């Protein structure tokens, strides 16, 4: 069982390892096609992931861990902090599109990768400031952004989704893209990138 978190072919050495197997499972048709285009000859089966709609559902009491600072309309993004997740595209787009006068917040629930919480939080702050400084706006002109970097139990994630009015994740590559599906199951309009694994189920008639 493997995932293709790429928008291009995978390395030939990885294909060689897969071809040693009797059968390979991937969660999306997209991933299957990438492996075939990369030269894999092993039989490949699609075994999709999913969410429990009895847990991930609309109209659950929201979990507000951000205090009273959130604005009236809330965009939410859930991801691990890495370049692949496209945080730079998301943040820059939000800061350029909205201003401090707009009644809107961007909520980011994210964790650093492969580093301590302290180091990861510093990196997130530095990356965010670099993006903020690249936008042609003064500090007082920028829209509201809220960040949460601490662990949240999976049991509480539906409450987090129900805090927001829309979900946005502009990922450069997903093996499947489970947060898109979790958000949609909670009734949120979904904004995503039209590439990689999530393109199996995010279509023009159900997402932006």
Q: What is the pLDDT of residue 65?
A: 82
Longest CA–CA separation in the chain, Å: 59
DSSP class of 62? P
Cβ atoms of 26 and 3 within 8 Å: the answer is yes
Structure-token pair, residue 121: 């939080």
| pLDDT tens over the chain, length 208 residues | 999 998 789 999 999 999 999 999 999 999 999 999 999 999 999 999 999 999 999 999 998 788 788 999 999 999 999 999 999 999 999 999 999 999 999 999 998 777 787 888 899 999 999 999 999 999 999 999 999 988 899 999 999 999 999 999 999 999 999 999 999 999 999 999 999 999 999 999 999 9
DSSP class of 1? -
3-state secondary structure of 190: strand
Cβ atoms of 190 and 184 within 8 Å: the answer is yes
pTM of the model: 0.93
Q: What is the pLDDT of residue 8?
A: 84
For residue 112, which of 102, 123, 104 has the smallest C-alpha distance? 123
């Amino acid at each position: 069982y493997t995932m293709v978190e790429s928008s291009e072919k995978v390395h030939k050495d990885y294909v060689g390892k897969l071809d040693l197997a009797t059968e390979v499972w991937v969660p999306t048709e997209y991933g299957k096609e990438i492996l075939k285009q990369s030269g894999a000859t092993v039989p490949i089966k699609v075994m999709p992931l999913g969410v429990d709609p009895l847990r991930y559902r609309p109209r659950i009491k929201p979990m507000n861990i951000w205090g009273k600072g959130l604005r009236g309309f809330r965009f939410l993004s859930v991801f691990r902090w890495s370049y692949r997740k496209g945080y730079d595209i998301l943040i820059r787009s939000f800061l350029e599109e909205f201003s401090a006068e707009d009644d809107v917040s961007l909520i980011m629930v994210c964790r650093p990768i492969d580093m301590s919480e302290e180091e990861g939080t510093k990196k997130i702050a530095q990356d965010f400031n670099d993006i903020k400084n690249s936008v042609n706006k003064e500090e007082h002109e920028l829209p509201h952004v809220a960040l949460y970097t601490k662990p949240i139990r999976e049991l509480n994630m539906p409450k987090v989704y129900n805090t927001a009015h829309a979900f946005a994740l502009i990922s450069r590559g997903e093996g499947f893209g489970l947060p898109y599906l979790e958000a949609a199951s909670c009734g949120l309009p979904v904004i995503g990138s039209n590439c990689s694994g999530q393109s199996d189920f995010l279509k023009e008639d159900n997402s932006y």
